[in-house]
Amino acid sequence: MGTPNIDRLAADGLTFTESYAANPVCMPNRGSMFTGRYPKAHRLRDNGIALRPTETVLPDVLR
Protein backbone atom coordinates (compact mmCIF):
# COMPACT_ATOMS: atom_id res chain seq x y z
CA MET A 1 0.00 0.00 0.00
CA GLY A 2 1.40 3.38 -0.98
CA THR A 3 1.28 6.28 1.45
CA PRO A 4 2.33 9.31 -0.62
CA ASN A 5 0.79 11.93 1.67
CA ILE A 6 2.37 10.56 4.83
CA ASP A 7 5.66 10.06 2.98
CA ARG A 8 5.60 13.69 1.82
CA LEU A 9 4.75 14.90 5.32
CA ALA A 10 7.67 12.90 6.76
CA ALA A 11 10.06 14.17 4.08
CA ASP A 12 9.11 17.81 4.72
CA GLY A 13 9.01 17.60 8.51
CA LEU A 14 10.45 15.59 11.37
CA THR A 15 10.16 11.90 11.97
CA PHE A 16 10.50 10.37 15.40
CA THR A 17 12.04 6.92 15.33
CA GLU A 18 11.70 6.49 19.10
CA SER A 19 9.12 7.98 21.41
CA TYR A 20 7.59 7.32 24.78
CA ALA A 21 4.08 7.77 26.12
CA ALA A 22 2.90 7.94 29.71
CA ASN A 23 -0.28 6.03 28.88
CA PRO A 24 -1.71 4.22 25.84
CA VAL A 25 -4.85 6.41 25.97
CA CYS A 26 -4.98 9.97 24.54
CA MET A 27 -6.38 12.02 27.43
CA PRO A 28 -3.93 10.82 30.11
CA ASN A 29 -1.05 11.58 27.73
CA ARG A 30 -2.33 15.09 27.12
CA GLY A 31 -2.68 15.53 30.86
CA SER A 32 0.95 14.49 31.28
CA MET A 33 2.11 16.91 28.57
CA PHE A 34 0.12 19.77 30.09
CA THR A 35 1.16 19.13 33.71
CA GLY A 36 4.56 17.47 33.40
CA ARG A 37 3.31 14.73 35.73
CA TYR A 38 2.57 11.04 35.35
CA PRO A 39 -1.08 9.89 35.09
CA LYS A 40 -0.89 8.50 38.62
CA ALA A 41 -0.14 12.02 39.89
CA HIS A 42 -2.71 13.98 37.84
CA ARG A 43 -5.31 11.17 38.13
CA LEU A 44 -6.35 11.00 34.48
CA ARG A 45 -6.48 7.33 33.60
CA ASP A 46 -9.06 7.29 30.81
CA ASN A 47 -10.64 9.52 28.16
CA GLY A 48 -13.48 11.84 29.14
CA ILE A 49 -12.07 12.82 32.53
CA ALA A 50 -11.05 16.44 33.13
CA LEU A 51 -7.98 17.64 34.98
CA ARG A 52 -8.68 18.93 38.46
CA PRO A 53 -9.00 22.74 38.49
CA THR A 54 -6.15 22.92 41.01
CA GLU A 55 -3.63 21.39 38.56
CA THR A 56 -0.91 23.73 37.31
CA VAL A 57 -0.80 23.40 33.52
CA LEU A 58 1.80 24.53 31.00
CA PRO A 59 -0.38 27.10 29.16
CA ASP A 60 -1.01 28.92 32.46
CA VAL A 61 2.70 28.91 33.30
CA LEU A 62 3.55 30.36 29.88
CA ARG A 63 1.14 33.29 30.24
pLDDT tens digits for range 5-60: 989 988 998 878 888 888 888 999 999 999 999 999 999 989 998 999 999 999 99
pLDDT of residue 10: 84
The reply to whether 34 falls in a domain is yes
Q: In the chain, where does DSSP find H-type helix? A: 4-12, 26-35, 39-42, 58-62
Which residue range(s) make up the domain with 34? 21-62
Domain count, the chain: 1
Largest CA distance in the chain: 47
The reply to whether 54 falls in a domain is yes
The reply to whether 36 falls in a domain is yes
pLDDT of residue 17: 84
The reply to whether 14 falls in a domain is no
pLDDT of residue 16: 81
Q: What share of the chain is helix, strand, coil (3-state, %, to 5)?
A: 45, 0, 55
